[in-house]
Amino acid sequence: MTQRELMVVLRDLGVRPSRRLGQNFLCDQNTLSFLTRTIDPAAGECILEIGSGAGALTDYLLESDCATLIAVEYDNRLAEYLAGKYGASARFQLIHGDACRINYSKILGDRRFRCVGNLPYAASSAIIFKLLQLENPPHEIFLLVQHEFACRLVAQPRRKTYGSLSVRTQLRYDIDLIRKISPHVFWPVPDVDSAFIRMRPKDRIISSELEDMVGKIARLGFGQRRKQMLSQLLTLADEACIRRSYDVCGLDYRVRAEELQVCQFVALARTMPQS
């Protein structure tokens, strides 16, 4: 779908792109072709597409051999348009709703699936964590997100972009920033660059209880990132207990959250008292 074709579709539907909903529609054929080649839909697989919009990427995905494409769209008029355009295909299923609130487990069950999407910038974090919390998470995720957000996801210790989000997502997924995406491949043109990322689940997933503790430590530690982390953790345990945990992990009492590797957050969480 070219920009001209997109604008005609939106005009006929009476849709004016909403900044609040993060409606920046991908309309560059070279970019769409690159995304599809990278995703490389496999014969017989199930793909969950979040934020189908006017169906630009949906077209490419349905032309592949995927067995089922489950499209999620929030906008009423766009959902109606997608249903009319693709509804006759037995391989297409439309979910009209908020991607942050949908019960994916009920829809997908124990099916193996991959997820792709052009996410609204404001909802990217909520949608990713929704996917991470599934008992049957996607075995691979390809997303278009704000470039700054992607940098936070892949950030390593001692970088300004490294934070609680980095730690919590890297617990479960190996994340690659595949390509920076120009704002000019979207309409309307956003004010910032985007990025195309790939997320692959780690072979070893920690328990939900331990993951919760890592999240608590990371949120507290990065709450005042320039301060020594030990003082930030006093809401979790008394100082003597925290110092013992530091000793077990071989951590300097003066260490800041931004200096710790993800594996060190996990080691520290294992030694902390469970609430």
pLDDT in tens, 215-241: 999 999 999 988 999 999 999 999 999
The pLDDT assigned to 133 comes to 83
> Do 194 and 177 contact (CB within 8 A), yes or no?
no
Q: Per residue in 87-125, pLDDT tens?
A: 999 999 999 999 999 999 999 999 999 999 999 988 999
Nearest-angstrom CA–CA distance, 143 and 122: 14
The pLDDT assigned to 231 comes to 94
- For each of the domains in the chain, give its residue range(s) and CATH number, in order of start: 3-201 (3.40.50.150), 208-271 (1.10.8.100)
Positions in the chain whose pLDDT score sits under 70: 275
In DSSP terms, 181 is beta-bridged to 194
Nearest-angstrom CA–CA distance, 41 and 245: 46
The pLDDT assigned to 240 comes to 96
**Which amino acid is present at 261?**
Q
Nearest-angstrom CA–CA distance, 197 and 220: 27
The pLDDT assigned to 65 comes to 76
Is this structure's pTM higher than 0.85? yes
